[in-house]
């Protein structure tokens, strides 16, 4: 499922491209293809914006599947802990004065 999501922006843009290529055939009313292409491109951007977190969630999910019956290693825990501390410090840092 996560792979399908990752491929979705490219798929949406490809569909938009095909529609653009077919412009002028009797499949589409005039002007429709540009609107369709814009809508599909906007949807692709929307998916991509959330893609970074989605890709990381997919990688985390895959790493847990790959563990099989074993538990995470000390290094894996230490990596997450360091990342959390860094992100927490960045989130809670006072804003720069305007």
Residues interacting with another protein, by CB under 8 A? 1-2, 4-5, 8, 12, 15, 19, 26-28, 32, 36, 39-40, 43, 47, 49-50, 52-54, 56-58, 60-61, 64-65, 67, 69, 71-72, 76-77, 80-81, 83-84, 87-88, 90-92, 95
CB of 40 closer than 8 Å to CB of 13: yes
Burial class (CB in 10 A: 0-12, 13-18, 19+), 48: middle
CB of 12 closer than 8 Å to CB of 42: no
C-beta of 90: minimal distance to another protein in Å?
A: 4
C-beta of 79: minimal distance to another protein in Å?
A: 9
C-beta of 26: minimal distance to another protein in Å?
A: 5
What phi, psi does 10 have (nearest 5°)? -65, -40
Nearer CB in complex with another protein: 17/49: 49
What phi, psi does 92 have (nearest 5°)? -85, -5
C-beta of 17: minimal distance to another protein in Å?
A: 14
């Amino acid at each position: 499922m996560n792979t399908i999501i990752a491929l979705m922006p490219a798929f949406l843009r490809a569909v938009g491209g095909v529609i653009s290529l077919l412009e002028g055939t009797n499949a589409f009313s005039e002007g429709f293809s540009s609107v369709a292409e814009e809508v599909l491109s906007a949807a692709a951007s929307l998916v991509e914006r959330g893609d970074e977190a989605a890709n990381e969630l997919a990688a985390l999910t895959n790493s847990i599947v790959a563990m099989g019956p074993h538990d995470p290693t000390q290094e894996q825990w230490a990596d997450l802990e360091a990342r959390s501390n860094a992100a927490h410090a960045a989130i809670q840092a006072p804003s720069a004065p305007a």
